Structure 1
Amino acid sequence: MDYKPSMSSSWVWRRICKIKEEMVPGYSNGIWQVQPDGYTPAGTYEWFKGSRPKVNWYRVIWDGWVIPKHQFMGWLVAHDALNTTSKLVGFGVDVEDTCCICALSEETSEHLFCECEYSKRIVREVNKLTRWDFPESRVMEWCLQRTGSKLQRGIQNALLLCLLYQVWHQRNKARNEKVMLCPERVAKQIVEEIRVRVSGRDKKLLNLDDLEWLKNMHLLE
């Protein structure tokens, strides 16, 4: 346990030794105290990870109906990890911190997805196309309060994450290419993506209430 790697050792070996040093508190008199039945990689990982409070947004993002690339996008939004212009300014990048879409306010995730008029127009168009009552702000909190069957909640989660993804995609087009689609076209793309998602599932696995709900939402022919 007292071994120290030399400076000429490879990065991989030095990293392994660093982890060994981080494990020292788990030993007493040379015996691994963390797990009563002895060392296991899984148990050691849990010990390293420690206890952290559960977050409620995981039920929205990691839903099986959500398209995988949209899940990653939602995870970034939940962690406020998107490189908005206000974030870039904070990193020392020489850019304007205004919204790349409307140029009327500082570009934060809150503004981009909840306050920007462009995003609000997309929400209104999605509502028209699907007979939905999607709010123009606080979307993640709203989805957590939704009722209905597991499928109905999953489809709503999929719509939400698709919307966030498309807004960010159009934001990047506005920033890098100086062009973007009108809100009506973006809304149609969002609905069409979810229709394709629904059509790929076996209809025999859906009950009559869910089938009727999907038809009322114009997500199933």
Structure 2
Amino acid sequence: MIKDSKWNWPLGWINRVLELGNLSVPVLHNDVADKVIWKNNNGNEVDFSVGRVWKDTRECGSKVRWSKVVWFSQCVPSHAFILWLAMRDRMQTQDRMAKWCPATDFSCMSCDKQSDSMDHLFFRCEYSNYIWEEMKEYIEDKTIPNSWKDVKDWIIRKKSNNSAASVIQRLIVAACVYMIWKERNTRLFSKTQMPKEKVRDKIIEVVKIRFIRLRFKDGDEYNKVKKKWNIV
């Protein structure tokens, strides 16, 4: 990059980043090894790392209340991503698509009674409602509401920590959202369908397998969860 004590930037770089032409040329010492340095947002020169560059250049928003509901060390990444979309109301449900295609007659792929929406899919539709009611037994709280807004409020109010009960609750919510959304898309694009009982069983299976692989502090709460899920 430096030739005859002058910058020798590629022409494409100069055209894209005009500030390169204003940088002072450092004095090079042949007896000193080259070192990559990054100047952070505070103006301090630090050792270069991809992590530091990402942290300084990314757009930072305010922390949301549900961050630990979605992202925690014991989560299933694919489930967490779909739940993240759901928590942000960014899933391409039919009520959103209807705004782009108002002449199209949309109907829920599971019940065929109305167009799907966040509130319908999670968990007003008779198909997803059956699954959610069944999984409430494993959360051991039958008072949990069935509308998506109220479900979000409920899970946000719950403690998000590393206890067995907290982890299993968040795993169940994420698995329900993921599996129901996956089944909806399978019906839409592949024209195949799975009975609601089988989707329920798959949710139980994936949550149980994930839970078995985790480690928790032994105690009454952990033993209660193991008994509920028939984990030896």
Deviation at 1:190, TM superposition (A): 0.8
**Matched-pair contact (CA < 8 Å) for 1:125–1:184:** no
Q: Equivalent of 1:82, from 80, 91, 94?
A: 91
**Matched-pair contact (CA < 8 Å) for 2:40–2:56:** no
Partner of residue 136, structure 1: 146
Partner of residue 121, structure 1: 130
Q: Quick one: distance in 2 between partners of 1:45 and 1:129?
A: 40
Q: Quick one: distance in 2 between partners of 1:75 and 1:49?
A: 18
SS of corresponding position for 2:61: coil
Identify unmatched segments of 5+ residues in structure 2: 1-9, 25-38
Q: Quick one: distance in 2 between partners of 1:191 and 1:185?
A: 10
| Runs of 4+ with deviation above 6 angstroms | 29-33, 39-44
Q: Does 1:37 align with 2:47?
A: no
Identify unmatched segments of 5+ residues in structure 1: none
1:160-217 deviation per Cα after TM superposition (whole angstroms, max 9, x unaligned): 0000011111111222344422322222211111111122234xx4321232221343
Q: Quick one: distance in 2 between partners of 1:111 and 1:83?
A: 13
Q: Which amino acid aligns with 1:139?
A: V
1:85-105 deviation per Cα after TM superposition (whole angstroms, max 9, x unaligned): 233333449743332222222
Highest CA radius of gyration, 1 or 2? 2
TM-score, normalising length from structure 2? 0.70
**Matched-pair contact (CA < 8 Å) for 1:130–1:216:** no
Higher relative contact order by CA 8 Å / sep ≥ 6: 1 or 2?
Answer: 1
**Matched-pair contact (CA < 8 Å) for 1:159–1:194:** yes
Q: Which amino acid aligns with 2:198?
A: R
TM-score, normalising length from structure 1? 0.73
Partner of residue 154, structure 1: 167
Considering only aligned residues, what root-mean-square deviation do their CA atoms show, in Å?
A: 3.4
Deviation at 1:59, TM superposition (A): 0.7
**Matched-pair contact (CA < 8 Å) for 2:107–2:113:** yes
SS of corresponding position for 1:150: coil
SS of corresponding position for 1:54: coil
Deviates more, 1:50-59 or 1:185-194: 50-59
Deviation at 1:48, TM superposition (A): 4.7
Structure 1 pair 116–44 and aligned structure 2 pair: CA distance change class (3 A): same
**Matched-pair contact (CA < 8 Å) for 2:69–2:160:** no
Partner of residue 109, structure 1: 118
Deviation at 1:147, TM superposition (A): 4.1
Q: Does 1:60 align with 2:60?
A: no
Structure 1 pair 201–98 and aligned structure 2 pair: CA distance change class (3 A): same
Partner of residue 209, structure 1: 220
**Matched-pair contact (CA < 8 Å) for 1:132–1:217:** no
**Matched-pair contact (CA < 8 Å) for 1:174–1:180:** yes
Structure 1 pair 201–87 and aligned structure 2 pair: CA distance change class (3 A): same
Identity of aligned residues (%): 22
Q: Which amino acid aligns with 2:153?
A: E
Q: Quick one: distance in 1 between partners of 2:174 and 2:200?
A: 13
Structure 1 pair 211–100 and aligned structure 2 pair: CA distance change class (3 A): same
